């Protein structure tokens, strides 16, 4: 497996990175994902119950470094347009951010979603979250579609961003 070097230091041994699609319900992942969430946001996104539901009925991807979970991406399939997937949340453990890993992780997630026939990926991102927006827009070409001024009743503005994946001749998605 390819080893990934966080710095250019030749002293580093690098890490074995792997993006995984979690395709079975593993309750032991719940505290791991919960901790990652609480390290990221002052107000938790999940409870054990919503994580359990996402594991069983949504789709969670993880990125591991030498076998340890360092990031997670939580996906839902759109009820109205089943070819569309919503990335509900994506986060890396704090010390692993800013080294290009979010970009690699998202590429792995997009590749896997595309292989399943996903035609569009949507997400909401805080308007002030410049790093995440840079990843979505600059690295992958996500387009800003709308601005929601108070989506979560926090007074914080969110952008709806979308990426249309290449058409393989399947059904039309609405604009
Ligand atoms: C968002 C997140 C997953 C991105 O992963 P990451 O590994 O930090 O991102 P990468 O290192 O792959 O890429 C970041 C890019 O943004 C750029 N960037 C960083 N800060 C920036 C800023 N303030 N303005 C513009 N661009 C910025 C970097 O320069 C880099 O681009 P480059 O490789 O061309 O230099 C990660 O930072 C994270 O977990 N953040 C906390 C949770 C979060 O905000 N999730 C998104 C919720 S929608």
Per the CB < 8 A criterion, the answer to whether 70 and 96 are in contact is yes
Which residue's CA lies nearest to atom 10 of ligand 1? Answer: 100
DSSP per residue over 56-120, as a string? HHSEEEEEEETTEEEEEEEEEE-SS-TTEEEEEEEEE-GGGTTSSHHHHHHHHHHHHHHHTT--E
C-alpha 84 to ligand 1 mean position (Å)? 24
pLDDT, one tens digit for every residue, the chain (175 residues): 667 777 555 556 789 999 999 999 999 999 999 999 999 999 999 999 999 999 999 999 999 999 999 999 999 999 999 999 999 999 999 999 999 999 999 999 999 999 999 999 999 999 999 999 999 999 999 999 999 999 999 999 999 999 999 876 555 667 7
Domain-wise residue ranges, the chain: 14-164
CATH superfamily of 14-164: Gcn5-related N-acetyltransferase (GNAT) (3.40.630.30)
Which residue's CA lies nearest to atom 37 of ligand 1? Answer: 97
pLDDT for 168: 64
pLDDT for 5: 73
């Amino acid at each position: 497996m390819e080893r990934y070097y966080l710095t250019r230091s030749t002293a580093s041994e690098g890490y074995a990175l792997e993006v995984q699609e979690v395709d079975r319900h593993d309750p032991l992942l719940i505290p791991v994902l919960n901790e990652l969430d609480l390290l990221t946001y002052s107000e938790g996104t999940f409870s054990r119950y919503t994580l359990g539901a996402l594991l069983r009925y949504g789709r969670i991807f993880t990125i591991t470094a030498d076998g340890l979970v360092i990031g997670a991406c939580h996906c839902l399939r759109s009820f109205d347009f089943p070819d569309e997937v919503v990335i509900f949340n994506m986060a890396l453990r704090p010390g692993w951010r800013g080294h290009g890993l979010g970009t690699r992780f998202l590429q792995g997630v997009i590749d896997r979603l595309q292989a399943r026939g996903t035609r569009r990926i949507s997400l909401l991102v805080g308007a002030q979250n410049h790093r995440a927006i840079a990843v979505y827009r600059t690295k992958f070409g996500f387009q800003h579609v709308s601005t929601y001024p108070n989506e979560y009743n926090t007074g914080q503005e969110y952008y709806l961003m979308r990426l249309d994946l290449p058409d393989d001749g399947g059904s039309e998605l609405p604009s």
